[in-house]
């Protein structure tokens, strides 16, 4: 079986509070995009899984402790699977980029192995194991209302992005540890996003609370975002998650491709990609 494991972009991200557990309560409008890891999985007659990573970002994946190993181990302990598997992951989603690649791999493998719906208790345990991005990958576009709830957008919007990644690895734990202030929670209102124009305006009027923290630590992020923002057809530029991948949201594919080529020429050592919503 071969399938795609899609990445996500945080269109907005606000930090609302810090819980007693040390984790943060956040809200985020997000979407899945067609930048994906390709996963090939098959049953094998072994007593141990064989997991291989290849592709441009394979070298950054921990071989002995990653979302796939943790997922398979958990599913066996819960007696939800009994077989062992050969899994090959072509890593095209940047690691340490804020695109949720590890969580995505776990979710899409879970969907391939378990055709039935899992109960709430199992779901919550998996989320705790895999991380807070886990529940995002069950919906193509949505609003993370809090760490336990995603509101589904009735109207899905077609969006196009230019993705940019400097040669920087951002530690999610470190970036969140630097959060010193909080943003008031927003109340989800589907009428604010039911047309593309209103949706874009809403996104424009919000932000990623982690961005200023990363820009202070890595000034090149701020420069990249400024450079892409002035390109023709760019609605806005922003960082996804805790970084380091940044993006420009564009009005059309032609403008996005022109901007992509300009940025590649200006920053030849950085990673770039064109992406669309799925």
Alpha carbon separation from 234 to 105, 200, 204, 229 (Å, rounded): 30, 11, 11, 6
Catalytic residue among 8, 91, 92, 209: 8
Residue 267 has pLDDT above 90, yes or no: yes
Going by C-beta distance under 8 Å and a sequence separation of 6 or more, which residues neighbour residue 117? none
Total count of residues recorded for the chain: 278
133 is annotated as an active-site residue: yes
pLDDT above 70 covers a percentage of the chain that reads 100
pLDDT of residue 190: 87
pLDDT of residue 133: 94
Residue 8 has pLDDT above 90, yes or no: yes
pLDDT of residue 148: 85
pLDDT-derived band at 22, boundaries 50, 70, 90:
confident
pLDDT of residue 153: 87
Catalytic residue among 37, 92, 133, 227: 133
Cα 240 to Cα 152: distance, rounded to the nearest angstrom = 20
Residue 40 has pLDDT above 90, yes or no: yes
Residue 19 has pLDDT above 90, yes or no: no
Residue 189 has pLDDT above 90, yes or no: no
* Phi, then psi, of 44 in degrees rounded to 5: -130, 155
Q: If phi over 0 gives left and psi between -120 and 50 gives alpha, with beta otherwise, what is residue 32?
A: beta
Residues 60-110: tens digit of each pLDDT? 999 999 999 999 999 999 999 999 999 999 999 999 999 999 999 999 999
In order, the DSSP letters of the chain are -EEEEEEEEES-BEEEEE-TTS-EEEEEEEEEEEEEEEEEEEEESSSS-EEEEESTTGGGS-SSS-HHHHHHHHHHHTTS---EEEEEEE--SPTTSSS-HHHHHHHHHHHHH--SPPPHHHHHHHHHHH-TTGGGGGSSEEEEEETTEEEEPSS----EEEEEE-S----HHHHHHT-----PPPPP-GGGSSSHHHHHHHHHT--BTTHHHHHHH-HHHHHHHHHHHTSTTEEEEEE-TTSS-EEEEESSHHHHHHHHHHHHHH-TTSEEEEEEB-
Alpha carbon separation from 177 to 180, 221, 242 (Å, rounded): 8, 19, 11
Residue 114 has pLDDT above 90, yes or no: yes
Residue 147 has pLDDT above 90, yes or no: no
* Phi, then psi, of 181 in degrees rounded to 5: -135, 165
**The overall pTM is greater than 0.75:** yes
Segment 235-254 shows an average pLDDT of 97
Q: Among positive and negative, which fits the CA dihedral 175, 66, 149, 13?
A: positive
8 is annotated as an active-site residue: yes
Segment 24-43 shows an average pLDDT of 97
**Contact in structure between 193 and 154 (CB atoms under 8 Å):** no
Name the nearest CA neighbour of 11 among 230, 228, 248: 248
Domains and CATH numbers, the chain: 2-152 (3.30.230.10), 160-276 (3.30.70.890)
Quote the mean pLDDT of the chain.
95
**Contact in structure between 37 and 4 (CB atoms under 8 Å):** yes
Residue 185 has pLDDT above 90, yes or no: yes
Residue 175 has pLDDT above 90, yes or no: yes
pLDDT above 90 covers a percentage of the chain that reads 90
pLDDT of residue 17: 95
């Amino acid at each position: 079986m071969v399938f795609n494991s899609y990445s996500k972009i945080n269109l907005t991200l606000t930090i609302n509070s810090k819980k007693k557990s040390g984790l943060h309560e956040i809200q985020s409008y997000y979407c899945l995009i067609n930048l994906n890891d390709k996963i090939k999985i098959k049953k094998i007659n072994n007593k141990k899984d064989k997991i291989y990573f290849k592709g441009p970002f394979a070298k950054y994946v921990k071989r002995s402790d990653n979302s796939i190993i943790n997922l398979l181990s958990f599913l066996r302990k819960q007696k939800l699977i009994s077989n062992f598997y050969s899994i090959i992951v072509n890593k095209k989603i940047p690691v340490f980029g804020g695109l949720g690649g590890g969580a995505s791999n776990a979710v899409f493998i879970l969907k391939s192995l378990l055709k039935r719906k899992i109960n709430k208790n199992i779901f919550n345990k998996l989320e705790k194991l895999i991380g807070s991005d886990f529940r995002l990958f069950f919906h193509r576009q949505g609003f993370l209302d809090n760490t336990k709830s995603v509101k589904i957008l009735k109207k899905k919007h077609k969006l196009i992005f230019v993705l940019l990644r400097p040669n920087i690895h951002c530690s999610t734990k470190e970036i969140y540890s630097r959060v010193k202030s909080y943003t008031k929670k927003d109340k989800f209102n589907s009428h604010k996003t039911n047309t593309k124009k209103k949706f874009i305006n809403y996104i424009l009027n919000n932000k990623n609370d982690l961005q200023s923290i990363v820009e202070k630590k890595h000034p090149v992020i701020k420069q990249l975002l400024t450079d892409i923002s002035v390109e023709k057809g760019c609605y806005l530029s922003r960082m996804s998650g805790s970084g380091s991948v940044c993006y420009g949201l564009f009005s059309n594919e032609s403008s996005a491709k022109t901007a992509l080529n300009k940025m590649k020429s200006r920053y030849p050592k950085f990673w770039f990609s064109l992406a669309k919503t799925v």
